[in-house]
Amino acid sequence: MTDNLDSGDQAESVAKSGAIEARQVAIGGQLLQVALRHGDGSAPPLLLFNGIGANWELAKPFLEALTSTTAIIFDVPGVGGSPRPLLPYRPSTLARLAAALVAELGYTEIDVAGVSWGGGIAQQFAHQYPKLCRRLVLAATAPGFTMVPASPSVLWKMATPRRYTDKGYMNRIAADIYGGAFRDDPSLIGRHAAAMHGARSLGYLYQLLAMSGWTSLPWLWSLPQPTLVLMGRDDPLVPPINGHILAGLIPNAELRMIDDGHLFIVTRPVETAALIEAFLADASRHVEPSSLLSRMASWIGDIASTFGGRRDNQAQQQGRK
């Protein structure tokens, strides 16, 4: 059962389950654009950290696909509806800001999820606040700068927020950086681009700087939370091997592969929401960590499949041309 303060209970009781409420909340002098998806109050809320340059509306299909879970998401300072901070920040800074937001909303226990860039912040939060974070979900993410990287061409296309401000550019590069369903359904690109707004160059730079030199590798072994790692099989931006690394080093973790690309939370919101809610609700689930030998074998196998998949994708693209 959720352990909420009175204000959280009251807010939950007056809101209609499934409704999404957006409002601005001041936390320690920083104004945040916050969206709250109201659930039935039967479990702790899910705090979701979004990807780089992403306003909360990009996660709206996922929020709407949840059936009973209360979810909290906010625009990172300098992105979307949250004003830019005076100074750059680190993942630990955002973790403190998020913890203060959770307290302001009246909750004393939460589940945490992070997508792509936000997965790093989610890892930091779980490490920094182990008593506040009950369970952890990591989607299409990696352990920081020590990750197995994407190809240089993909990284170059991600270096600026241009895809958030230039819809034509977004249409040209979406399949290359996101993979999966974006390769075959151009309509997905248009719908995704339509939900983008508010990405600012300095705010984007702050997000890049936040992860500069950051890694979770030294302490992943110490995370106490049951953890679900979700990865797309055709993810050009975060190769699937990174999911095997996370699931192998976090003691109580399991890895689930999804037949899609980097943005499966957007292209397959119902499937993703169902996987996450089942994981969060299953109190009897006890994931046994694998042996180091089996982890190494899994990593080697996934490296082979990753590079094989890249060759197949390149061949398909050349065939289309």
- The two tokens of residue 257 are 């592969």
DSSP 150: P
The set of residues, in sequence order, having a beta carbon less than 8 Å from that of 204 and lying 6+ positions away, is: 52, 53, 78, 79, 160, 161, 164
The CA angle 32-188-181, to the nearest 5 degrees, is 110
Which active-site residues does the annotation give?
116
d(CA 19, CA 267): 21
| CA dist., res. 54 & res. 75, Å (int) | 8
Residues 6+ apart with CB under 8 A from 265: 59, 62, 115, 139, 140, 272
Residue whose entry in the numeric block shows the structure tokens 């409420």: 21
d(CA 218, CA 240): 20
Residue type, 26: A
For the chain, the C-alpha Rg in angstroms (whole number) is 19
Q: How far apart are CA 165 and CA 174, in angstroms?
A: 13
Handedness of CA 221, 223, 224, 228 (dihedral sign): negative
Residue from 54, 41, 28 nearest 198 by CA: 54
Please answer whether residues 175 and 182 qualify as being in contact, where contact means their C-beta atoms are separated by less than 8 angstroms.
yes
Q: Judge contact between 39 and 45, C-beta under 8 A.
A: yes
